[in-house]
Homo-oligomer: A and B are copies of this chain.
Amino acid sequence: MFEGPVQDLVDELSKLPSIGGKTAQRIAFHLLLRTSRTDADRLAAAIVAIKEQVAICPRCFNFAAGDLCRFCSDSRRDETVVCVVESPPDIIAVERTGEFRGLYHVLGGAISPIQGIGPDELRVRELLDRIKADGIVEVIIATNPNIEGEATAMYIARLIEPLGIRVTRIASGLPVGGDLEYADEVTLGRALEGRREIHG
């Protein structure tokens, strides 16, 4: 066991994802020996700030620094089109294309029987409630172009179709098996342009 405060930090860091005991130790030593007091304080403050200042948008489940996220609270966005994504980083990828001016809906993942994620673990019901309440005319499904994302798209399309609303899927201009978040703007922009109806 290290001196109390060193061990405490190693223990706390080890609770984080992707950080094992050895990495936690390396980070603790780095903070102790190679990081300025200012930088360490800034990291600590950023951790506190994310919990204090960031909430989840009750409408689209994106991160929100206010009551609603910056898209839901922006009156210039087209409220009749909703782009459904798996997670907040995907929103950033879509925004970078400059091709979309509607709102978003963050599912919180994709259907994956192997990982035990079914529709009930995702915000699918909340999407249906929004569609019924908010006058939405088109739902663009932009889940990742891999097996889980396609299955999720088909599942959602099947639920939305009976509501008489246009459901589209971004075109597979993206390499299949890839990750939406890392797509370049041009490819993802083409994929948005080339979207087509899907029928579940």
Inter-subunit contact B18/A65 (CB<8 Å): no
**Range class of the A interface residue count:** 35 or more
Q: Does A119 contact B (CB under 8 A)?
A: no
**A41, closest chain B residue (CB):** B48
Report the separation of the CA atoms of residues A2 and B87 in the bound assembly, to the nearest whole angstrom.
12
Minimum distance in angstroms from A7 CB to a CB of chain B: 9
Most interface-central of A1, A3, A45, A70 (chain B CB within 10 A): A3
Q: Interface stretch among A26-34, A133-141, A151-159?
A: A26-34
Inter-subunit contact B8/A46 (CB<8 Å): yes
Report the separation of the CA atoms of residues A27 and B50 in the bound assembly, to the nearest whole angstrom.
12
Q: Does A64 contact B (CB under 8 A)?
A: yes
Which of A's residues lie within 8 Å of B, judged by CB? 1-6, 8-9, 11-13, 15-19, 23, 25-33, 35, 37, 39-54, 56, 63-65, 69-70, 87-89, 92
Could you pull out 9 A-B pairs where Cβ atoms are within 8 angstroms? Answer: A1-B92, A3-B54, A5-B49, A5-B50, A13-B43, A15-B35, A32-B50, A40-B51, A47-B47
